[in-house]
Structure 1
């Protein structure tokens, strides 16, 4: 069965903030605890269901190192939604969200949806407070979540919020919107790529 909608999303943020761990937790309900760095761009997808509609959420997990920026810039152009991730135990990664947001403004679509995520909320030594994260999100006018890829806190909520925002933005005016019906389904991934052709 082909998908009714394909959403292309991106994970951006400094290296080591836990982008891949968040993706693995969301897609596989697992945890990636090694120190292997993403090289360039990795990809996973998750099937969502909304009011009987089959939605494929593509997640492009990008490398945070500067040398990979020329590779990842091309993905900004077609991204419908972006999760900007920082490490709550690393103040520099939080400060760099400003730079990542500038990259979105420079290379991304003007209507791209964004969500700010503070990861590693389970850590003992938190240096970036909830108030700091919330204030930055309010400055950008976007949702904010503190997440734990280890325990799964707010991981599904962050991804589903992004999907909800994209779906709401792209629905036709004559189609009703039912945000409460968006849910995860453990199902086989889309076997058809017809739904993922960029218009």
Structure 2
């Protein structure tokens, strides 16, 4: 649920992937903006913020960065990868080549992200899920789960900016990563064990 007010935690989220896969449309769908069939390509990284309430009443602000996918803008885009805690690695499903081109693109983009931020949590995101049928979606999910295991990614999700399917779940899942991101970095408090000696029986 998106809410107002100061956040308890802030997470930087980047969207990466080839030009035209639907990164900008994914962000627009999260903010309930009307779907556009012909969205203009992102040239320079753009950011927007959203605060989501997660379990335990915690408020998590997502700083969402939509990066350019065109190769000639990669030097600029990769500067904005730094200090990211979550990455949505987006690809367009291509059933006609058994999803091979999408898988190759995902591997390349994950390598780029981890070059800048090795500990970044990776979500592998199939966009345009409305363009494939149920049988293809099932096959894609199986392939996606294999990719998660191979890349040690956080999760795989099929989304559709056009229908809204899976979009809110994706961003809310990223917000719920706060416990993994921040509690792992909190110092461990040493436990002090006091051993009480038995009192000697007898007169003083």
Q: TM-score, normalised by structure 1?
A: 0.78
1:111-126 aligned at under 5 Å gives the runs 111-124=119-132
1:50-199 aligned at under 5 Å gives the runs 50=54, 51-89=56-94, 91-108=100-117, 110-124=118-132, 129-142=140-153, 143-171=155-183, 172=186
Deviation, 1:78, is 1.1
What's the C-alpha RMSD, in Å, of the aligned pairs? 2.2
Question: 2:102, 2:18 → 1: CA distance?
Answer: 6
Secondary structure, aligned partner of 1:149: coil
Aligned to 2:200: none
Deviation, 1:124, is 4.2
Deviation, 1:23, is 0.7
Question: 1:93, 1:16 → 2: CA distance?
Answer: 13
Gaps of 5+ in 1: 175-199
Gaps of 5+ in 2: 189-204
Contact 1:87 1:94 in 2 (8 A): no
The structure that has the greater radius of gyration is: 2
- Shifted more, 40-49 versus 121-130: the winner is 121-130
Deviation, 1:173, is 7.2
Deviation, 1:63, is 0.8
Between 1 and 2, higher relative CO (CA 8 Å, sep ≥ 6) is seen in: 1
Question: 1:163, 1:54 → 2: CA distance?
Answer: 9
Deviation, 1:29, is 5.1
Aligned residues: 173
1:25-40 aligned at under 5 Å gives the runs 25-28=29-32, 30-40=34-44
Secondary structure, aligned partner of 2:38: coil
Deviation, 1:152, is 1.1
Name the structure where strand makes up a greater proportion of residues. Answer: 1
